[in-house]
């Protein structure tokens, strides 16, 4: 009997336990219900719905965006540009509320941030990750970030390249197996070399409809790597050209990026390392270095504009799903940092613009434009989680370098500090007496303030005498890039009515200098815009360089060119 009772007791206890467990599970499920139901509401990207075997086509992206628009009032779609093949490139404006225009933000504390993906359309994870990001922000009951940030996203920047999806593209990349697009846009141009010459509708649209219009404090440009072997799925680098605002570069390098990447590791368990390649595969200990400082690279161009930029390169040999999720969490980590530091960042940017304008009003001899750079290592070494490498010598051909499966951490010098090696004077203004409409349009496209003299004026200026100009033998981006030699002189010169006057007391002064300096490695002369002004049909030698520098302030009668 006692036995029976205790059995009954036990059975009752068991039943009670089961009920409690059942209740707990129900409560747990209920607490997840909002998330679960939201997930069910939101559209899936092609990456997700294909179990990471495919990437979105243009129509998939547009359908995904329309689906989100039906579910959320916090998104508006603008057109960044029409691609060479006629596709409208969507620019998503995400805000709470969505600002009707940049003017609507004038009396608003929110700051604007911009993310673009798929500029090289074989490098697709940014496209998938940025779409997931928009969905997962918009469909939360309380969307994060939007009290302080307006987020602009161009998920498919190079749509023409994207539509050429083929499994044979980027074969060394680890998926998606159903193929990716091509690097080039519909004009066969590399859009990430178009930062200064602005010859593609996509980059022209970026400058006109994003940078000059919305003035984002940060641009994030999503890519996939092509080079070294390492374990980190996410890599990144900031703007590198030392003609940009140095405090901004230092802030990104010393504070912002380390913090973003620490968070990425701690919160999302994703490893990252500054973007680069071993300088010598045979001897990785020699060092690690990123790409060059030229502003033809979009992120370096943004630096010249006194804004922040992150080049995101996801590791080509990591599985597609790892790359998509790595990029997705990296974008979250960036947003979290910017959300927590909005005031600090906007203040820094404001100071950079102010300093630039002040310098242009009264340039001193200490103010210069760097035209050649040295590459120096940072004080701290970088640790790259790589692999032991194997060198296979082959007679008569280049040695093959293969990675082994043995992980190896390399703590090596990080050559990432481009510093001026040779600099020239920074002027009060640039003067162009013989500007044609192509030159004027190029300056205006960048958003520069361009004026013209309305009275003939005699001025003491610095001029550049070209002694040698050579077009490159090899065509590059449709150009035979010029290299030039010459010397600087002072002269008194009469400037006629209509002479262009480009003041350096404007926030984009560094862009103006980079375009107009004769020895600039990414200026109008290099990219052949001045060819017919400097090389005569008849006669000896090149003509004088057509841009003059007014070093000292002068009050001139002029009007704005539109
Ligand atoms: Zn790329």
Summarised one tens digit per residue, pLDDT across range 412-460 is 999 999 999 999 999 999 999 998 999 999 999 999 999 999 999 999 9
Residue 168 has pLDDT above 90, yes or no: yes
Distance from residue 234's CA to the centre of ligand 1 (Å): 13
Select from 102, 323, 328 the least CA-distant residue to 209. 102
What sign does the CA torsion over 94, 97, 103, 109 have? Answer: negative
pLDDT of residue 33: 46
Residue 15 has pLDDT above 80, yes or no: no
Rounded Cα distance between 25 and 15, Å, is 15
Distance from residue 454's CA to the centre of ligand 1 (Å): 46
pLDDT of residue 389: 87
Rounded Cα distance between 485 and 526, Å, is 12
Distance from residue 404's CA to the centre of ligand 1 (Å): 26
Q: How many CA atoms lie within 13 A of 556 on its CB side?
A: 29
Distance from residue 323's CA to the centre of ligand 1 (Å): 14
pLDDT of residue 34: 44
pLDDT of residue 24: 52
**Token pair belonging to 304:** 């010249």
Distance from residue 16's CA to the centre of ligand 1 (Å): 60
H or E element in which residue 465 lies = strand 457-471
- Confidence band, pLDDT 50/70/90 cuts, at residue 536: confident
Distance from residue 314's CA to the centre of ligand 1 (Å): 9
Strands laid side by side in the 429-432 sheet: 482-495, 457-471, 548-550, 429-432, 500-503, 451-453, 558-560
Rounded Cα distance between 486 and 434, Å, is 20
DSSP 8-state code for residue 414: B
**Rg of the Cα trace of the chain?**
28
- Confidence band, pLDDT 50/70/90 cuts, at residue 485: very high
Rounded Cα distance between 314 and 324, Å, is 9
Residue 528 near residue 439 (C-beta atoms within 8 A):
no
Residue 1 has pLDDT above 70, yes or no: no
Mean pLDDT across 490-495: 98
Residue 67 has pLDDT above 90, yes or no: yes
Mean pLDDT across 189-201: 98
- Confidence band, pLDDT 50/70/90 cuts, at residue 19: low
Select from 534, 545, 178, 125 the least CA-distant residue to 328. 125
Distance from residue 177's CA to the centre of ligand 1 (Å): 19
Q: Count of CB atoms within 10 A of residue 551's CB?
A: 18
Distance from residue 311's CA to the centre of ligand 1 (Å): 9
- Confidence band, pLDDT 50/70/90 cuts, at residue 541: confident
Summarised one tens digit per residue, pLDDT across range 216-243 is 999 999 999 988 899 999 999 999 999 9
Give the environment of ion ligand 1: residues with CB less than 5 A. Answer: 120, 123, 223
Residue 228 near residue 408 (C-beta atoms within 8 A):
no
Distance from residue 328's CA to the centre of ligand 1 (Å): 17
Q: How many residues does the chain have?
A: 562
* Whole-number percent of the chain with pLDDT over 70: 93
Rounded Cα distance between 239 and 314, Å, is 17
Distance from residue 374's CA to the centre of ligand 1 (Å): 25
Residue 141 near residue 34 (C-beta atoms within 8 A):
yes
Residue 407 has pLDDT above 50, yes or no: yes
Mean pLDDT for the chain? 93
Distance from residue 116's CA to the centre of ligand 1 (Å): 12
Distance from residue 394's CA to the centre of ligand 1 (Å): 31
* Whole-number percent of the chain with pLDDT over 90: 86
Summarised one tens digit per residue, pLDDT across range 340-374 is 999 999 999 999 999 999 999 999 999 999 999 99
pLDDT of residue 21: 58
Distance from residue 297's CA to the centre of ligand 1 (Å): 10
**Token pair belonging to 496:** 């006629």
Tell me whether strands 308-314 and 234-238 are parallel, antiparallel or unpaired: antiparallel
Q: How many helices (H) and strands (E) does the chain have?
A: 15, 21
Distance from residue 120's CA to the centre of ligand 1 (Å): 5
Residue 233 near residue 314 (C-beta atoms within 8 A):
yes
Distance from residue 345's CA to the centre of ligand 1 (Å): 27
Summarised one tens digit per residue, pLDDT across range 326-340 is 999 999 999 999 999
Summarised one tens digit per residue, pLDDT across range 498-516 is 999 999 999 999 999 999 9
Distance from residue 300's CA to the centre of ligand 1 (Å): 14
Rounded Cα distance between 385 and 234, Å, is 12
Summarised one tens digit per residue, pLDDT across range 141-166 is 999 999 999 999 999 999 999 999 99
Lowest mean pLDDT among 65-69, 169-173, 216-220: 169-173
Distance from residue 514's CA to the centre of ligand 1 (Å): 23
**Contacts for 16 with CB less than 8 Å, ≥ 6 apart:** none
Rounded Cα distance between 46 and 50, Å, is 6
């Amino acid at each position: 009997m006692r036995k029976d009772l205790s059995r009954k007791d036990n059975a009752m206890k068991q039943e009670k336990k089961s009920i409690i467990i059942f209740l707990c599970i129900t409560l747990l499920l209920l607490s997840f219900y909002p998330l679960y139901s939201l997930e069910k509401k939101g559209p899936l990207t092609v990456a997700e719905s294909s179990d990471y075997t495919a990437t979105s086509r243009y129509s998939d992206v547009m359908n995904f965006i329309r689906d989100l628009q039906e579910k959320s009032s916090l998104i508006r779609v603008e057109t960044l540009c029409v691609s060479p093949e006629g596709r409208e490139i969507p620019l998503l404006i995400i805000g709470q509320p969505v600002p009707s225009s940049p003017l609507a933000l004038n009396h608003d504390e929110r700051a604007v941030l911009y993310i673009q993906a798929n500029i090289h359309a074989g490098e697709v994870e940014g496209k998938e990750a940025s779409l997931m990001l928009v969905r997962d922000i918009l469909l939360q009951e309380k969307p994060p970030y939007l009290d302080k940030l307006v987020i602009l996203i161009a998920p498919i920047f190079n749509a023409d390249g994207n539509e050429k999806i083929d499994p044979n593209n980027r074969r060394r990349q680890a998926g998606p197996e159903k193929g990716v697009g091509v690097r080039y846009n519909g004009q066969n141009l590399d859009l990430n070399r178009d930062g200064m010459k602005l010859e593609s509708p996509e980059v022209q649209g970026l400058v006109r409809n994003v940078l000059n219009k919305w003035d984002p404090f940060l641009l994030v440009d999503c890519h996939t790597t092509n080079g070294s072997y390492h374990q980190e799925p996410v890599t990144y680098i900031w703007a590198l050209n030392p003609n940009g605002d140095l405090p901004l570069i230092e802030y990104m390098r010393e504070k912002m990026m380390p913090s973003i990447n620490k968070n990425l590791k701690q919160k999302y368990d994703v490893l990252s390392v500054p973007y680069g390649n071993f300088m010598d595969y045979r001897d990785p200990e020699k060092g690690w270095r990123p790409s060059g400082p030229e502003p033809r690279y979009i992120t370096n161009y943004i630096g010249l504009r006194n804004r922040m930029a992150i080049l995101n390169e996801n590791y080509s040999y990591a599985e597609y799903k790892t790359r998509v999720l790595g990029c997705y969490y990296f974008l979250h980590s960036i947003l979290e940092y910017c959300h927590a530091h909005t005031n600090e960042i906007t203040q820094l940017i404001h100071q950079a613009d102010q300093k630039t304008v002040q310098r242009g009003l009264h340039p001193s001899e200490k103010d210069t434009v760097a035209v050649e750079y040295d590459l120096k290592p940072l004080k701290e070494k970088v640790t790259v989680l790589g692999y032991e490498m194997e060198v296979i010598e082959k007679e008569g051909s280049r040695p093959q370098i293969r990675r082994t499966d043995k992980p190896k951490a390399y703590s090596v010098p990080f050559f990432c500090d481009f510093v001026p090696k040779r600099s020239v004077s920074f002027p009060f203004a640039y003067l162009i007496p013989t500007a044609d409409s192509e030159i004027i349009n190029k300056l205006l496209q960048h958003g520069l303030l361009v004026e013209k003299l309305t009275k003939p004026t005699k001025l003491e200026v610095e001029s550049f005498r070209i002694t040698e100009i050579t077009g490159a033998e090899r065509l590059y981006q449709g150009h035979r890039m010029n290299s030039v030699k010459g010397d600087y002189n002072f002269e008194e010169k009469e400037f006629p009515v209509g002479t262009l006057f480009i003041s350096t007391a404007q926030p984009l002064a560094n862009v103006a200098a980079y375009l107009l300096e004769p020895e600039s490695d990414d200026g109008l002369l290099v990219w052949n815009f001045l060819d017919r002004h400097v090389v005569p049909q008849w006669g000896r030698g090149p003509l004088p360089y057509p841009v003059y520098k007014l070093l000292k302030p002068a009050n001139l009668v002029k009007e704005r060119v539109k």
